[in-house]
Amino acid sequence: MSIFPTSAPHAHAPDSVPRIMGLVLLAVAPAMLYGIVLFGWPALNLFLVTVLACLLCEAVCLRLAGHAVRPFLMDGSALLTGILLALSLPPWAPWWIGVVGGFFAIVVGKQVFGGIGQNIFNPAMLARVALLVSFPVEMTFWLEPRPLFSSHAPGFMEGLAITFGGIPNIDAVSGATILGHIRTELGMSHALSQILPGHYHAGTAALGWTGGSLGETADFLVLLGGLWLLWRRVFTWHVPVAMLATVLALAGGLHLLDPERFASPAVHLLSGGLMLGAFFIATDPVTSPTTKLGQLIFGAGCGAFVYIIRTWGGYPEGVAFAVVLMNAATPLIDHYVRPRIYGRTWRGQSRPVSERAKRPPIKSGEAE
């Protein structure tokens, strides 16, 4: 059939895929810049390598598949995948982590499925999971923030050396994320009241002054960006609110039961990739359900998995796993959760109007 749009509508909302991607890029930019400043030149190097790898892989795949490269590359989706992947990597990871991750995200995570819109899993998260499983050492190397140009930050050349040659004095710079720290200490059966003081301040955590991956630390900026996207109606509140509320509820409930074993909701909310995940990753339209109810279920599922993995699973952080697991459930959710059709019952039968319901909307003589 011809696709010349001869049929209505002949008007269109001022929306397009590149525009949506552009807004998301803008929204994530502050957190991204903050993360780069916080972890210095090596972070910038890794960031650039990852993004370039993604763009290159996208271009090559498009060419191989015989698609027009430019329009698809310009839709911004590969760029966004690259950025989100970079943001979820340890900031001083070696360059090849970025390259392998980019390859995984774009080739295995997206193009193998048929390109934009066809993939089941969030490409960035699939890559992160793959990297974490394959290179556990590199993927769990965390360090305390060393902002650009501060006294103990590496200079430009040093930065290149770190990204492309490895970190010279590993033990001197390494530091654990708060979630990692809690896990290790709990493993040694220490109580939270002994573990946390000196390691965790809600204020510094929210401002991002903490160890973690590139973009996971500045929760405050991530939240602002997310709220801005909500306001611009790029996505609706359903996924992020369901995800955060579920983590909050589980963490709150268990914390009340045993505060020595279960970290408080604030710790959960303001650490790791939860905020980034809730606003920028789980909201990926392609891999989340299309109905509002489906999105609530999806968000709640993500939240529950995050909490379960963090608390009982084998890894201290679970956002990527949680999102990938719920991605896998999305086709099922979309199959079962459909809106009710106007004039039909949930089962699709015609829905009769009961005699009682047929009241006139106004009674004669009713006052204005």
Partner 1 sequence: MKLFDFWGGVHPAGQKHLSAEQAIQILPMPSRLHVPLQQHTGRSAVAVVKVGQTVRKGELLGQEQGGVSAPVHAPTSGVITAIGDFTAPHVSGLPLPTVTLESDGEDRWLEQEPPPDPFALEPEEVAARIGEAGIVGMGGANFPSAVKLSKARQARVHTLAVNGAECEPYMTCDDRLMRERAEHIVDGVRLMLHALQAPNAVIAIEDNKPEAVARMKAACQNEGQIRVVVVPSRYPAGSAKQLIQILTGLETPAGGRGTDTGVLVHNVGTAYAVHRALRQARPLISRIVTVTGGAVAEPKNLEAPIGALVEDLLAFCGGTTDAPARLLMGGPMMGHPLPGTQVPIVKGTNGILALTAAELRLAATPSPCIRCGRCVEACPMGLMPLEMSKRARHDDLDGAQAFGLIDCISCGSCAFACPSHIPLVQYFEYARGALEARQRAEQKARETRRLLEQRQARLVRAEQAKAEAAARRQAEKRQARMKGGATA
Exactly one of 29, 70, 71, 150 binds partner 1 (CB under 8 A); that residue is 71
Q: How far is the CB of 230 from partner 1 (least distance, A)?
A: 14
**Contact with partner 1 (CB under 8 A) among 169, 342, 347, 356:** 342
Choices 8-16, 39-47, 84-92, 242-250; region in contact with partner 1 by CB under 8 A: 8-16
Residue 5 is a binding residue for partner 1 (CB under 8 A): yes
Q: The tokens of 284 are what?
A: 């990926």
Answer yes or no whether residue 188 interacts with partner 1 by CB under 8 A.
Answer: no
What are residue 149's phi and psi, to 5 degrees?
70, 5
Q: Which of 137, 157, 172, 362 binds partner 1 (CB under 8 A)?
A: 362
Under the criterion CB under 8 A, does residue 361 sit at the interface with partner 1? yes
Please give the distance of CA 220 from its chain centroid, rounded to a whole number: 15
Decide: is 347 part of the binding site for partner 1 (CB under 8 A): no
DSSP-derived secondary structure letter, 9: P
CB nearer partner 1, residue 63 or residue 152: 63
Site string for partner 1, 217-256 (x = CB under 8 A): -------------------x--------------------
Only segment of 216-224, 254-262, 319-327, 357-365 that touches partner 1 (CB under 8 A): 357-365
Q: Which is nearer to partner 1, 201 or 351 (CB)?
A: 351
Q: Which two tokens stand for residue 232?
A: 């611009």
345 burial (CB, 10 Å; 0-12 / 13-18 / 19+) is exposed
Give 288-355 as a DSSP string.
S-SSHHHHHHHHHHHHHHHHHHHHHSSSS--HHHHHHHHHHHHHHHHHH--PPPTTB-TTS-B-PPPG
CA dist 340 and 338 (Å) reads 6
Q: Which is nearer to partner 1, 256 or 341 (CB)?
A: 341
State the Cα–Cα distance between residues 202 and 264, nearest whole angstrom: 11
Give the closest residue to 245 by CA, choosing from 223, 221, 267, 278. 278
Minimum Å distance from CB 112 to partner 1?
A: 15
Taking the complex as a whole, how short is the minimal distance between the CB of residue 355 and partner 1, in angstroms?
9
Nearest Cα neighbor of 62 from 22, 110, 23, 94 is: 110
Sign of CA dihedral 140, 146, 148, 154: negative
- At closest approach, how far in Å is the CB of 184 from partner 1? 40
Contact 70, 55 (CB under 8 A): no
Give the residue with the Cβ less far from partner 1, 171 or 366. Answer: 366
**Calpha distance 85→80 (Å, rounded):** 8
**22 touches partner 1 by CB under 8 A:** no
Whether the CB-CB separation of 106 and 128 falls below 8 Å is answered with: no
Q: How far is CA 77 from CA 18, 55, 64, in A?
A: 8, 9, 18
Q: Give the x/- contact pattern for partner 1 in 264-303, rule: CB under 8 A.
A: ---------------------xxxxxxxx--x--------
Q: Which tokens hold the place of 246?
A: 């579920």
Query: C-beta of 101: minimal distance to partner 1 in Å?
Result: 22
Residue from the set 30, 115, 147, 175 that interacts with partner 1 by CB under 8 A: 115
- Site for partner 1 contains 11 (CB under 8 A): yes
DSSP, collapsed to helix, strand or coil, labels residue 17 as helix
**By CB under 8 A, is residue 66 in contact with partner 1?**
no
- In angstroms, what is the minimal distance from the CB of 245 to partner 1? 20
Among 193, 203, 352, 356, binds partner 1 (CB under 8 A): 352
CB of 60 to partner 1, least distance (A): 19
Where does this chain bind partner 1 (CB under 8 A)? 1, 3, 5-17, 19-20, 71, 75, 115-118, 236, 285-292, 295, 338-344, 349-353, 357-362, 364-366, 368
